Amino acid sequence: MSCIDPYSLDFNQKNSVLVVEGFLTDDVVKPDTIKIQYSNFENEAIRIVPIASVKASVLNVDTNEETKLIEQPKGGFLPPKTFRINTQHKYILKFSLPNGQNYESAPEKITPTPAIAKVYDIFNAQSVLSEDGKKFLSANEVYLDTQDPTEQKNYYLWRYTHFERLGFCITCTKSQYSVQTGACTIPLANFNRTAYYDYQCAGDCFSIFKSKQVNVLSDVASNGQLIKGKLIAKIPTYSPTGCLIQIQQISISPEMYLYFKILEAQTQSNGGLADTPPAGIVGNIKNITTPSEKIVGYFGVVSIQKNNYWIDRKDAKSPYELILGHEISEENATADTSRPPFAPCTASSTRTPIKPDGWQ
């Protein structure tokens, strides 16, 4: 391990904290978004505050070549499409804020990631404890096998994206959906069954669920052996039809492993570094202008192995979880069939109209 020493930073003592997270990867098709944003902890709640006009770049330490990153919405940055990582070189993230503060990360270098050998799932009728703690819910538990290399110590991080087909795109509470306004703008006082109506999607729509829990492993007990039956995800049973999980296996540096182990032990994460109250972990980012500032997060340079796995749910049994969080309630159809209308699938971080790679 290097001299990087991750430790806890109390959000209650400092309401606004700079958070940096993301990877520079060897995936040229879908590079990782590097996020630079403020996280405010107010009234027991986390509020994400994007930062405008940030200038960010990555520096190749070995060649001194600097590549500007392209700013994305909500404080995100991507490398240019022509950028390629040199696997033998180290890289530093550099950025400056409009207030004149300059930041940079410690150097990071890619560690080769072994391929995912096998992915499989097992249906478990009592897999996950419900939020109210009163019952166990069913899920398909997804596992993988991978062959650990013998020539070096290895540290792994796993994450995934889970897709479900969505049949209803908009829910209107005490109102009806208007095609003209594209919103729930038709007031309605009387309801036959519920105080809301759900509207079917006009075309394909897929819900997106990202892994929330930190999932890391050291090969200290399995160096050079087959890592078998590593639990990756517990996918709730939303329907009897299949769904897709896109798995990423990532080799990380010893310093990054230590960082994520502390994060795992302290919080077990709630969806990302910026969403983790009431404390965050100070990682490998430092303020060059004002060294006393503590920055939450970690910038890594990584190699990613992927696997698109289809869960057919052939063993799944009802009852099914409610993907919208409530029972579906539709408007009664009118005689002229003008209502209920269909609603569009609006792309967001949790929804897409584009069929994901690997969908069956």
Q: What are the φ and ψ backbone dihedral angles of 178, each rounded to 5 degrees?
A: -110, 125
Q: Is the confidence at residue 345, as pLDDT, over 50?
A: yes
Higher pLDDT, 277 or 96: 96
* pLDDT at residue 277 in the model: 43
What global pTM score does this model have?
0.88
- The pLDDT tens digits of the residues spanning 64-111 come to 999 999 998 766 999 999 999 999 999 999 999 999 999 999 999 999
Closest CA to 299 of 27, 81, 33, 2: 33
Amino acid present at 318:
S
Query: What is the Cα–Cα distance from 57 to 104, expressed in whole angstroms?
Result: 10
Query: What is the Cα–Cα distance from 154 to 217, expressed in whole angstroms?
Result: 9
Mean pLDDT of 328-335: 92
Query: What is the Cα–Cα distance from 104 to 285, expressed in whole angstroms?
Result: 6
Confidence at 270, pLDDT banded by 50, 70, 90: very low
Q: Give yes or no for a contact between 164 and 206, defined as CB atoms under 8 angstroms apart.
A: yes
* pLDDT at residue 51 in the model: 87
Q: Give yes or no for a contact between 306 and 144, defined as CB atoms under 8 angstroms apart.
A: no
Query: What is the Cα–Cα distance from 36 to 51, expressed in whole angstroms?
Result: 7
Closest CA to 78 of 50, 94, 56: 56
* pLDDT at residue 39 in the model: 85
Residue ranges per structural domain of the chain: 7-116+154-163+208-311
- The pLDDT tens digits of the residues spanning 203-239 come to 999 999 999 999 999 998 888 899 999 999 999 999 9
Confidence at 43, pLDDT banded by 50, 70, 90: low
Mean pLDDT of 125-153: 90
* pLDDT at residue 10 in the model: 52
